[in-house]
């Protein structure tokens, strides 16, 4: 397998003194940058993989491609040996184009268009989910040898995005009937999947879902099925300051209690866990309205600032509408001891809906200042549109030297597999930025070739 298709086919390698923030500063303050841009840190994705493997060693991650389908992400995860959860024919093709074995893909969409089922059969993606009877009849007609996974419903009490209203059959009242139908049709059902809700804030729900799965495994055995797969779905948080350790502890204990047999293959479909914190977005303030208002506490006259930035809810911040994310704009410039003002942040389009942050406190910013938004890797770029002619931000990919070493530890790579150039001085913290440098051009090529 060859890893060479990064967005711009290049990765900026950081030295020990550089960071995502120093790169953002260098680009933003280059004097030529106006458009919003992302910095994607591959190291963050690699670190997440290490965290996952040590937190839940028995659970094989199948990254949910829908969350961020950038080639950078897919290639790094493919190289690290992750599997993939695809929702469509196009996602399947994208993953297969990287040389990933079709057995490492689960087609985890319980309601699939006909041609997509046929296509999965054609390319050898055999494992797919269902939660209704019609799907079984479609599969019987289009891909009778498919290995089906029944998706049950078990909703977290608190989640950023609930999914149970659309997908998942009731494990008690619907699943037994569906398994009987599958048996009568001669369809091979091999396991169970669930998704407790994206951005789950109810870790114990995983135990409930695993316990319900155990019951259904046993019922399936009574019908003559031999289930061998349990898919724990997504829901794992991934932003700065979040942790999967509580979920992991609950999952590991529940697996020990309900699925001690190591021959049961346990997978999960994490999306935001892997990519959320890897992407940081920098936006430029291009317009400002100062509105006279009254202080909410004192009633004294004060000013509310409306900042207009060059990415909004039709672009990256669609996550505010669709993914219910609360984003925080951090000034790139340092303001020590500045007075904070009531402020709101707006996108660049002419739509009144295009509001990024309704109410926040910021120092008084100027046109040309930058606001930085962390945790922008999940459910942002794949949904963004250039509505009103505002482009989707370009992604600059970075990796630090430690990650380089880490990749070599995880993978059977040698130094010969990398093509290394010189690290530009401008990427070293504390050095002057070369004003003539074209930051839109890739700087350092890396080619990782796996044997
Ligand atoms: N699997 C399926 C079937 C999904 O629909 C989703 C998200 O919608 C995911 C996995 C990823 O979920 P998360 O990003 O919460 O891990």
Residues 347 and 406 in one domain: no
Please tell me the distance from the alpha carbon of residue 232 to that of residue 229, in angstroms, as a whole number: 10
Range of the domain at 129: 42-270
Q: Which of 329, 360, 384 is the last residue of a domain?
A: 384
195 lines ligand 1 (CB under 6 A): yes
Please tell me the distance from the alpha carbon of residue 355 to that of residue 317, in angstroms, as a whole number: 9
Cα 29 to ligand 1 centre (Å)? 37
Q: Could you tell me if 274 and 198 are in contact, meaning their C-beta atoms sit under 8 angstroms apart? A: no
Cα 86 to ligand 1 centre (Å)? 10
Q: Using N-to-C axis directions, what is the helix angle for 205-222 and 175-185, rounded to 10°?
A: 40
Residues 414 and 344 in one domain: no
269 lines ligand 1 (CB under 6 A): yes
Q: Which of 233, 251, 270 is the last residue of a domain?
A: 270
pLDDT, one tens digit per residue, over 218-244 is 999 999 999 999 999 999 999 999 999
User: When comparing pLDDT for 412 and 112, which is higher?
Assistant: 112
Give me the CATH number covering residue 224.
3.20.20.10
Residues 156 and 213 in one domain: yes
Please tell me the distance from the alpha carbon of residue 100 to that of residue 81, in angstroms, as a whole number: 9
Measured CA to CA in angstroms, residue 284 lies from 28, 309, 348 at distances of: 9, 5, 10
Residues 313 and 415 in one domain: no
Residues 112 and 213 in one domain: yes
Beta bridge partners of 398: 12, 41
Residues 192 and 338 in one domain: no
pLDDT, one tens digit per residue, over 277-316 is 999 999 999 999 999 998 888 899 999 999 999 999 999 9
Give me the CATH number covering residue 343.
2.40.37.10
Q: Which of 269, 277, 278, 319 to mutate to test the pocket of ligand 1 (most atoms within 8 A of CB)?
A: 269
Per DSSP, the three-state class of 216 is: helix
φ, ψ of residue 289 to 5 degrees: the values are -120, 130
Residues 7 and 79 in one domain: no
Residues 164 and 285 in one domain: no
Provide the whole-model pTM: 0.89
Residues 195 and 246 in one domain: yes
Residue 8 predicted with pLDDT over 50: no
Residue 50: partners with Cβ closer than 8 Å, 6 or more residues away: 406, 410
pLDDT, one tens digit per residue, over 419-450 is 333 333 333 332 222 323 332 222 223 333 33
Please tell me the distance from the alpha carbon of residue 41 to that of residue 20, in angstroms, as a whole number: 7
State the complex-level ipTM: 0.99
Q: Could you tell me if 199 and 161 are in contact, meaning their C-beta atoms sit under 8 angstroms apart? A: yes
Q: Could you tell me if 316 and 380 are in contact, meaning their C-beta atoms sit under 8 angstroms apart? A: yes
R_g (Cα) of the chain, nearest Å: 24
Domain count, the chain: 3
């Amino acid at each position: 397998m060859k890893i060479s298709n990064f967005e711009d086919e290049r990765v900026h390698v950081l030295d020990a003194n550089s960071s995502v923030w120093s790169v953002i500063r260098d680009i933003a303050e280059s004097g030529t940058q106006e458009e919003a841009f992302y910095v994607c840190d591959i190291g963050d994705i690699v670190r997440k993989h290490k965290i996952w493997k040590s937190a839940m060693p028995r659970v094989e991650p199948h990254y949910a491609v829908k969350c961020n389908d950038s080639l950078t992400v897919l290639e790094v995860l493919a190289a690290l040996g992750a599997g993939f959860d695809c929702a469509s024919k196009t996602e399947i093709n994208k993953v297969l184009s990287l040389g990933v074995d079709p057995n490492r893909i689960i087609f985890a969409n319980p309601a699939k268009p006909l041609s997509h089922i046929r296509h999965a059969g054609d390319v050898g993606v055999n494992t797919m989910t269902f939660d209704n009877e019609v799907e079984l009849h479609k599969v019987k007609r289009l891909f009778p040898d498919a290995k089906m996974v029944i998706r049950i419903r078990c909703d977290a009490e608190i989640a950023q995005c609930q999914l149970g209203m659309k997908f998942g059959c009731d494990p008690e009242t619907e699943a037994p009937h569906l398994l009987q139908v599958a048996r009568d049709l001669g369809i091979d059902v091999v396991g169970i999947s669930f998704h407790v809700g994206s951005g789950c804030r109810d870790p114990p729900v995983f135990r409930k879902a695993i316990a319900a799965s155990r019951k259904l495994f046993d019922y399936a055995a009574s019908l003559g099925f031999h289930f061998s797969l349990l898919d724990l779905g997504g829901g794992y948080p991934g932003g700065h300051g979040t942790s999967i350790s509580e979920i992991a502890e609950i999952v590991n204990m529940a697996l020990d209690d309900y699925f001690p047999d190591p021959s049961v293959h346990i997978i999960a479909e994490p999306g935001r866990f892997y990519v959320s914190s890897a992407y940081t977005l920098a936006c430029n303030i291009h317009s400002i309205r100062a509105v006279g208002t009254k202080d909410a506490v004192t009633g004294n006259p004060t000013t509310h600032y409306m900042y207009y930035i060059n990415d909004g809810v039709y672009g990256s911040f669609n996550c505010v509408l669709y993914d219910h994310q609360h984003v925080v704009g951090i000034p790139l410039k340092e303001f020590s001891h500045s007075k904070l003002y009531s402020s709101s942040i707006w996108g660049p389009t002419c739509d009144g809906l295009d509001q990024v942050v309704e109410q926040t406190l910021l120092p008084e910013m100027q046109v040309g200042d930058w606001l930085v938004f962390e945790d922008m890797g999940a459910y942002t770029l794949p949904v963004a549109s250039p509505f009103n002619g505002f482009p989707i931000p370009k992604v600059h990919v970075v990796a630090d030297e430690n990650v380089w070493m880490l990749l070599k530890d995880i993978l059977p790579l040698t130094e010969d597999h990398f093509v290394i150039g010189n690290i530009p001085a401008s990427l070293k913290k504390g050095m002057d930025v070369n004003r003539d440098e074209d930051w839109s051009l890739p700087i350092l090529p890396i080619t990782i070739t796996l044997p």
